[in-house]
């Protein structure tokens, strides 16, 4: 029987970029195995070394997680829809996180500024006072943090905390609309604060120009009523989630990649937390970042404003928050799907017998595979752009493999490179000569490291290098006519 399988963007490079497949099987597990059989490159992404489905991937049958059905044995029939939801990332009316506080009195200036809110029965004077009294922390001032900060400031949230240790660069401006060209090189929190003050000078802004860590997270987050997670890495997402669970705060979550976005509210007091949905992250390097895979400029605006909407509802109270629900959005097809998520009684932080009780004693880098990745990457030999140029000029025989996708090569081509996308390396390794040094190139030198490790695991014995800092380094140091991206 034919079952429709919806493939997320992060896995489409393994399915010839197909977003929907018709596969056979009588159970969810059989269908997923059929997927792996038809597209062998998906096996490493879907299954661990023991052949079990990886914990960072959730499988939904007709919008319901198979974890609360019959697992892999969940029966399926013709016309059913299976959706894979990897980490990239109805409800009852929700009470305000501020409780019954009346908040400060609104001035005449505020009444005029927020009049369109006051005309809404669901918000009104009472709700606007709560917004004025509220304190919201935004973790990350990039693509998602930009619209979050702008709309929460415009809505009249009394205090916004902004935490980010990065600086504005030119590639940010395609989507991080809170920053401008004149802000290139400035700390993102400083640029965002200036923009917020232009939007609404009545909002208090606290900036933290450093990384959120296990040592400072509880102290910072304890000062706020709601946390909006606009981060871009798994280590920070698990840290934000755990701190929010321990402090009883709601975590308004957003994530995006290429054309897909996710939003939810992880609030352990009322429903599941992030760990209930994703017990563990993907192996380090398996899921590319936006810097590597790209992102549609308008997508963070959509997801970020959804997050802002959820924050406002949590403060005002009365709306149906995304607690226990994951909103999945495909911008390319303009399609929203709502998926149910459930509290896991075995969750290590919000379950019946929690094992995570102190952030300082938990190694988030190790949990997210960062330490392991660094250990694995250490033996990979790197070659700098100028050294590669010297060896080529001297006539040395070197095989150069470009592992980028076709649309990236349309931006700029690397001279004399053989094209093998990273998802095809293992089965095409016979095209390489192990007696000749091979240099792998990508945009910034991260996928090339993954390429080397992939071939090593597959048994390839030739000497391999990654071009340090990727094609962009070649453009900077060797060929200034080549564009950087």
* Contact between 82 and 28 (Cβ < 8 Å): yes
pLDDT at 112: 96
Lowest-pLDDT range, 166-180, 245-259, 279-293, 345-359?
279-293
pLDDT at 395 exceeding the cut of 80: yes
- Angle of CA points 305, 8, 28, to nearest 5°: 125
Extract long-range pairs of 33-37: CB within 8 Å, 24+ residues apart. 35/5
Task: Give residue 377's pLDDT band: very low, low, confident or very high (50, 70, 90).
Answer: very low
Predicted local distance difference test score (pLDDT) of residue 329: 95
Is residue 290 among the annotated active site residues? yes
Closest CA to 449 of 301, 284, 253, 295: 284
92 — pLDDT class (breaks 50, 70, 90): very low
| Band (376; pLDDT cuts 50, 70, 90) | very low
pLDDT at site 50: 79
Q: How do strand 57-61 and strand 81-86 relate by DSSP bridges?
A: antiparallel
pLDDT at 289 over 80: no
Q: Does residue 378 have a pLDDT over 50?
A: no
Give residue-wise pLDDT tens across range 134-145. Answer: 999 999 999 999
pLDDT of residue 337: 92
Tell me the pLDDT band of 102, cut-offs 50, 70 and 90. Answer: low
CB 296 within 8 A of CB 257: no
Q: Is 240 helix (H, G, I), strand (E, B) or coil?
A: helix
Confidence label for 288 from pLDDT (cuts 50, 70 and 90): low
- Pick the closest to residue 267 from 301, 309, 218, 311 (CA basis): 311
Residue 10 has pLDDT above 80, yes or no: no
Residues near 482 by beta carbon (within 8 Å), at least 6 away in sequence: 412, 471, 474, 475
Q: What is the largest CA-CA distance in the chain?
A: 79
CB 418 within 8 Å of CB 345? no
Residue 215 pLDDT > 90, yes or no?
yes
Chain length of the chain: 485
Q: What is the pLDDT of residue 212?
A: 94
Q: Is 329 helix (H, G, I), strand (E, B) or coil?
A: strand
Whether 379 shows a pLDDT value over 90: the answer reads no
Alpha-carbon distance 309 to 417, whole Å? 48
Q: Supply the pLDDT for residue 353.
A: 93
Phi/psi for 280 (5° steps) reads -150, 155
> pLDDT tens digits, residue range 426-478?
889 999 999 999 999 999 888 899 899 889 888 899 999 999 999 999 999 99
Residues in Cβ contact with 310 at an 8 Å cutoff, skipping those fewer than 6 apart? 252, 263, 265, 321, 322
Closest CA to 237 of 90, 394, 390, 367: 367
The pTM of the full predicted model, rounded to 2 decimals, is: 0.73
Q: Give the per-residue pLDDT at 295.
A: 86
Q: 217-226, 296-305, 365-374 — which is least confidently predicted?
A: 365-374
With a cut of 80, say whether residue 150 has pLDDT above it. Answer: yes
Residue 161, Ramachandran bin (φ over 0: left; ψ between -120 and 50: alpha; else beta): beta
Distance CA 352, CA 343 (A): 10
pLDDT tens-digit profile of 158-192? 999 999 999 999 989 999 999 999 999 999 999 99
Residue whose C-alpha is closest to residue 244's, from 263, 226, 231: 226
Instruction: Tell me what the mean pLDDT of segment 26-45 comes to.
Output: 86
Residue 291, pLDDT score: 63
Q: Name residue, tokens 């973790």.
A: 139
Integer Cα distance of 183 and 194 in angstroms: 10
Whether the Cβ atoms of residue 23 and residue 3 lie closer than 8 Å to each other: yes
Residue ranges and CATH numbers for the domains of the chain are: 2-86 (3.10.20.30), 134-370 (3.40.50.720), 379-477 (3.40.250.10)
- As a whole number of angstroms, the distance between CA 102 and CA 417 comes to 66
| Angle subtended at Cα 275 by Cα 271 and Cα 207, rounded to the nearest 5 degrees | 90
Lowest average pLDDT, out of 11-15, 240-244, 280-284, goes to 280-284
pLDDT the model gives residue 369? 63
Spatial CA neighbour of 1 closest among 33, 23, 18, 21: 23
| Selected catalytic residue, list 236, 244, 290, 347 | 290
Candidate ranges 54-58, 101-105, 169-173; pick with highest mean pLDDT: 169-173
pLDDT, position 422: 82
Give how far the C-alpha of residue 8 lies from the chain's centroid of Cα atoms, to the nearest Å: 13
Is residue 90 scored above 50 in pLDDT? no
* pLDDT score at 33: 87
Look at residue 374 and tell me whether its pLDDT is greater than 70. no
**In the annotation, is 368 catalytic?**
no
For the chain, the average pLDDT equals 89
How big is the CA angle at 165 (ends 287 and 151), to the nearest 5 degrees? 85
Question: What's 105-154 look like in SS3?
Answer: CCCHHHHHHCHHHHCCCCCHHHHHHHHHHCEEEEECCCCCHHHHHHHHHH
User: Which residue, among 294, 268, 341, has the nearest Cα to 68 in the 3D structure?
Assistant: 341
Would you say residue 83 has pLDDT above 50? yes
Percent of the chain with pLDDT over 90: 62
pLDDT for 89 = 41
Does residue 44 have a pLDDT over 80? no
What pLDDT does residue 285 have?
58
């Amino acid at each position: 029987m034919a079952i429709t399988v919806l493939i997320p963007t992060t896995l489409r490079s393994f399915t010839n970029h197909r977003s929907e497949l018709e596969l056979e099987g009588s159970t969810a597990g059989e269908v997923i195995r059929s997927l792996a059989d038809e597209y062998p490159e998906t096996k490493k992404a879907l299954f661990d070394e023991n052949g079990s489905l990886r914990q960072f991937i959730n499988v939904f049958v007709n919008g319901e997680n198979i974890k609360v059905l019959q697992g892999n044995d969940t029966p399926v029939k013709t016309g059913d829809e299976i959706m894979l939801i990897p980490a990239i990332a109805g409800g009852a009316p929700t009470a305000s996180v501020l409780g019954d506080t009346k908040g400060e009195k609104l001035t005449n200036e505020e009444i005029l500024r927020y009049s369109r809110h006051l005309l809404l029965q669901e918000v009104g004077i009472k709700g606007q006072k709560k917004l004025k009294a509220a304190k919201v922390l935004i973790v990350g001032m990039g693509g998602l943090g930009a619209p979050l900060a702008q709309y929460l400031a415009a809505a009249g949230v009394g205090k916004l905390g902004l935490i980010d240790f990065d600086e504005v660069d030119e590639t940010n401006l395609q989507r991080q609309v809170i920053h401008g060209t004149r802000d290139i090189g400035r700390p993102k929190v400083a640029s965002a604060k200036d923009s917020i003050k232009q939007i609404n000078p009545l909002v208090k802004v606290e900036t933290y120009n450093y990384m959120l860590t296990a040592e400072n997270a509880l102290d910072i987050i304890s000062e706020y009523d709601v946390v909006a997670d606009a981060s871009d890495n798994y280590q920070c997402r698990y840290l934000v989630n755990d701190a929010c669970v321990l402090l009883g705060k709601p975590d308004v979550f957003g994530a995006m990649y290429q054309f897909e976005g996710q939003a939810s509210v992880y609030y352990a007091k009322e429903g599941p937390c992030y760990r209930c949905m994703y017990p563990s992250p993907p192996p380090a390097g398996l899921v590319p970042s936006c810097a590597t895979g790209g992102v549609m400029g308008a997508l963070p605006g959509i997801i970020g404003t959804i997050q802002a909407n959820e924050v406002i509802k949590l403060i005002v109270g009365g709306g149906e928050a995304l607690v226990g629900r994951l909103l999945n959005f495909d911008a390319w097809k303009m399609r929203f799907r709502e998926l149910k998520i459930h509290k896991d009684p075995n969750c290590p932080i919000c379950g019946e017998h929690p094992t995570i009780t102190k952030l300082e004693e938990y190694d988030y880098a190790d949990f997210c595979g960062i330490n392991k990745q660094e250990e694995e990457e250490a033996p990979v030999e790197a070659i700098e752009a100028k050294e590669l140029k010297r060896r080529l000029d001297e006539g040395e025989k070197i095989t150069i493999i470009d592992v980028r996708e076709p649309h990236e090569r349309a931006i700029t081509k690397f001279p004399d490179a053989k094209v093998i996308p990273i998802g095809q390396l293992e089965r095409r390794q016979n095209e390489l000569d192990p007696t000749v040094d091979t240099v792998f190139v990508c945009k910034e030198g991260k996928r090339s490291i993954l390429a080397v490790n992939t071939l090593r695991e597959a048994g390839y014995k030739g000497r391999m290098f990654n071009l340090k800092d990727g094609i962009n380094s070649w453009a900077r140091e060797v060929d200034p006519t080549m564009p950087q991206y």
